[in-house]
Amino acid sequence: MPIIINLDVMLAKRKVKSKDLALAIGITEQNLSLLKQGKVKGFRFATLEAICEYLDCQPGDILEYIPNQEG
């Protein structure tokens, strides 16, 4: 998948535990883990907004597009 989720990177930069973020934004730790691993097909803008607000970052700090190199 060409969309990479860099949530682990932002959590490390902000020195925030996954457990604390999940509690703050109102999702389960299991769902946050699936999101961090990129095992979700999508998530709500409200969730992205809550993550960005809590981590004081931009969506582009969390989501990255890398085009397929197949050809």
What are the domain boundaries of the chain?
3-65
pLDDT of residue 51: 97
Q: Could you tell me the CATH superfamily of domain 3-65?
A: lambda repressor-like DNA-binding domains (1.10.260.40)
Is residue 5 within 8 Å of residue 63, measured between CB atoms?
A: yes
Residue-wise pLDDT for 15-68, tens only, equals 999 999 999 999 999 999 999 998 999 999 999 999 999 999 999 999 999 998
In whole angstroms, what separates CA 64 from the centre of its chain?
10
Confidence of residue 2 (pLDDT cuts 50, 70, 90): confident
Amino acid (1-letter code) at residue 55 = L
DSSP 44: -
pLDDT of residue 68: 82
pLDDT of residue 70: 65
pLDDT of residue 1: 63
